[in-house]
Amino acid sequence: MLINSESQSPLRYDRITVFFHWVIALLIAAAFALGTVMVEIEGLTPTKLKYFSWHKWLGVTVLGLVAIRLLWRLFHRAPPYAEPMPRWQHLASFVTHGLLYVIMFALPLSGYFYSLAAGVPVVYLGLFPMPVLMEADPALKPVLKEVHELISNVLLGVVGLHVLAVLKHQFINRDSVLRRMLP
């Protein structure tokens, strides 16, 4: 384990935080890929309906895991950085992580409300009906669809920045930022 010699505190995230990070990242990538594939399928086929269900299940799972992760994060601080970083990089990291949390809540919720506006209830794993918090609304359906797509594109951009920052730290700065979150 990496240790900060000045404070004797670990420089890595705890195992549970690392687990949440990578599982949520994989589930989001799967939901994004599935969403991209399913909207390209012409018509209303059984395959397309199955993919929509799986996409919704991934979204509900992400929403639940992100809620648990945020609760965990409130009681488990991020480890300090081993190397000093400019203030602007700390601020950029703080803002980016905050934005990622907002998006990880907003994206599945926008999809959930889009589904409800379309008059299609969400049944998690085909077994557990999610609460119907609004009636079908044909006027709101296209708005929520656009919101869901916009948020997913913003997520793609912010994740891209996040990955680029990690790569910069790994290959240009050659510091320990990436190792903090590796399993």
| Domains present along the chain, CATH in parentheses | 3-181 (1.20.950)
Mean pLDDT value across the chain: 93
Nearest of 28, 6, 14 to residue 162 by alpha carbon = 28
pLDDT tens-digit readout, 138-168: 999 999 999 999 999 999 999 999 999 999 9
pLDDT attached to residue 6 = 42
pLDDT tens-digit readout, 106-140: 999 999 999 999 999 999 999 999 999 999 999 99
**Integer Cα distance of 12 and 50 in angstroms:** 39
pLDDT tens-digit readout, 47-91: 999 999 999 999 999 999 999 999 999 999 999 887 788 999 999
Nearest of 1, 173, 163 to residue 85 by alpha carbon = 173
**Integer Cα distance of 69 and 25 in angstroms:** 12
Nearest of 27, 25, 17, 97 to residue 59 by alpha carbon = 27
- Label residue 119 left, alpha or beta by phi (over 0 means left) and psi (-120 to 50 means alpha): left
